[in-house]
Amino acid sequence: MIFSKNDRIIFVGDSITDSNREYAAPPAKWASWGEGYVNVINGYTTAFHPAKELMIINKGISGNRIVDLPNRWQEDVLDLAPDWVVIMIGINDVWRHFDGTFCQDEQVTETVFFETYRTLVKDTLPAVKGMILLSAFMVEKNLEDTMRKKVEVYNQLTRQVAEEFSIRFVDVQAYFDEFLKHQSSYVLSSDRVHPSLAGHLLIAKAFLDVCEFEEETYENN
């Protein structure tokens, strides 16, 4: 795996990362991980790589878009002295284009998304060992669906940021697409965005694969 003993890994994002975490809980304490993929990853690393003593911290906040991250970055991320920062963001940046029009929400354009993301990564990298960017995803088999197509555009922007700074990109959408070759989208999500436990397991699997986790038990170092 790419992580070293005692590495501190912070996950930042929206409701998919948040997943009902307890905001008042101290970092890496009970209820702090939420009920989603961050909790799955914490359980996996704790159970199967106990010697690594990895600290998993969840700092997702429901409803966040890329433009919300800079305002809380110092307190929620940098002040916690992470070794690694993992970001999954983008679905709300897209979704508000479809469900926020009558609220007259100010939309996050492709340019704003890319430039904000790029600046955040550029400014953070000198302070950490590394960063990992996860794609957003939509549980939608129809590739011509308007929202699904827009998600792909924003995912490509995320990939561009990752490639520019030579950091790892996790194509979560690809894992969902593979599942949808065999089963209905309703197994994974009732609204095409918020995943079931099975969906969260897919996110965790995508992350663990890219981070080169091996299915070992009680390693020596």
Helix, strand or coil, per DSSP, at residue 9: strand
Q: Is 191 a catalytic residue?
A: yes
The answer to whether 15 and 58 are in contact (CB under 8 A) is no
Q: Is 49 a catalytic residue?
A: no
Tokens of 103: 């609220």
Tokens of 42: 């914490």
Distances (CA, A) of 147 to 7, 102, 107, 152: 37, 17, 14, 9
Query: Which of the following is catalytic: 49, 135, 185, 194?
Result: 194
Tokens of 3: 């992580």
The answer to whether 94 and 136 are in contact (CB under 8 A) is yes
C-alpha to C-alpha distance for 221 and 210, rounded to whole angstroms = 20
C-alpha to C-alpha distance for 117 and 124, rounded to whole angstroms = 11
C-alpha to C-alpha distance for 85 and 151, rounded to whole angstroms = 22
Give the end-to-end CA distance of the chain in Å, rounded to a whole number: 11
| Active site residue ranges | 15, 191, 194
